[in-house]
């Protein structure tokens, strides 16, 4: 029996699913983060954990029988992709960006723009049978509007407020207090991963703190400008994905035709593995 494996790996976690030629799911698995540009070795370990769980759930399928597509954060870094590829046990595999699998899963072949807003961020454009990826440059140089960038902005604003350069608010004071003051915030920033920064993002969506409103307003303006840049004439529908999808969709509801995704990045990986992408 021919079997296909899809992997959806990002900065927060990794999911795997195994299906047959008819698309029936045979097994699933999950593990930790799988951003191959920030931690290739850790990503490989989590990918193998998730895929082995899916193979075991399907009755112990031999990975040497599997055709796999891996949609991964950081796959645009060719050296990391090559290093990861050398450690994979599958009969055949293809490594693509998580933006591609997210776009394939969300649109199922239709034209549109996909904005994946999670720990990181990336944008996919499907138009007239072609796919293009935008953004997804990582926490240091990009990932606009992402959870990690929002968390970093919150900590930076807390430090500005501590220095008197921005109004202090209850949220900013709670961030400072939670780290034992400014020095604690700085110490955290020097060791924190993107996923750890992203843990602060939900604080920006709760209540009506003025600092939270400022940070979210700025982020929404950036995301809106990026999607406007990708739009065509006539305008394409927009799909938001990820943990912050609802927050951005609600704030940008009047800008475009915003639609619910038809599937997930994991669905997209399976479709590509079956040759449907």
Residue 263 has pLDDT above 60, yes or no: yes
Confidence at residue 53, expressed as pLDDT on a 0 to 100 scale? 95
Report the C-alpha gap between 239 and 257 in whole angstroms. 9
Confidence at residue 277, expressed as pLDDT on a 0 to 100 scale? 42
The average pLDDT across 261-269 equals: 92
The average pLDDT across 121-144 equals: 86
Q: What is the pLDDT of residues 185-235, one digit of tens each?
A: 999 999 998 889 999 999 999 878 999 999 999 999 999 999 999 998 899
Report the C-alpha gap between 113 and 103 in whole angstroms. 8
Domain boundaries, given as residue ranges, for the chain: 3-109+262-273, 111-260
The average pLDDT across 66-75 equals: 89
Considering the chain, what percentage of its residues have pLDDT values greater than 70? 99
Report the C-alpha gap between 243 and 57 in whole angstroms. 27
Q: Give the class (CATH, top level) of 3-109+262-273.
A: alpha beta
Q: Angle, nearest 10°, between helix axes 40-57 and 78-85? A: 40
Fold match between domain 3-109+262-273 and domain 111-260: yes
Residue 276 has pLDDT above 70, yes or no: no
111-260 fold? Nucleotidyltransferase; domain 5 (3.30.420)
The pTM score is 0.80
What integer best gives the mean pLDDT of the chain? 91
Higher pLDDT, 276 or 173: 173
Report the C-alpha gap between 258 and 249 in whole angstroms. 7
């Amino acid at each position: 029996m021919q079997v296909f494996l899809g992997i959806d790996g990002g900065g927060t976690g990794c999911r795997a699913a195994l299906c047959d030629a008819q698309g029936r799911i045979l097994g699933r698995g999950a593990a930790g983060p799988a951003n191959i540009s920030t931690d290739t070795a850790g990503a490989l370990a989590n990918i193998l954990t998730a895929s082995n769980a899916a193979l075991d759930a399907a009755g112990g399928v031999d990975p040497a029988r599997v055709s796999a597509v891996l949609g991964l954060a950081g796959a645009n870094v060719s050296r990391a992709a090559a290093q990861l590829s050398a450690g994979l046990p599958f009969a055949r595999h293809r490594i693509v960006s998580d933006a591609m699998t997210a776009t394939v899963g969300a649109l199922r072949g239709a034209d549109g723009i996909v904005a994946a807003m999670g720990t990181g961020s990336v944008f996919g454009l499907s138009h007239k049978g072609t796919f293009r990826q935008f953004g997804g440059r990582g926490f240091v140089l990009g990932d606009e509007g992402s959870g990690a960038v929002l968390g970093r902005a919150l900590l930076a604003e807390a430090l500005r407020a501590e220095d008197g350069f921005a109004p202090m608010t209850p949220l900013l004071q709670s961030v400072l207090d939670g780290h034992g003051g400014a020095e604690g915030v700085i110490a955290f920033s020097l060791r924190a991963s993107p996923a750890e920064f992203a843990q602060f993002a939900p604080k920006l969506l709760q209540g009506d703190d003025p600092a939270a409103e400022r940070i979210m307003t700025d982020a929404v303006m950036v995301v809106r400008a990026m999607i406007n840049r990708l739009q065509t004439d006539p305008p394409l529908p927009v799909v938001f994905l990820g943990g912050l999808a609802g927050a951005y969709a609600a704030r940008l509801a009047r800008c475009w035709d915003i639609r619910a995704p038809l599937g997930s990045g994991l669905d997209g990986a399976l479709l590509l593995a079956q040759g449907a992408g």
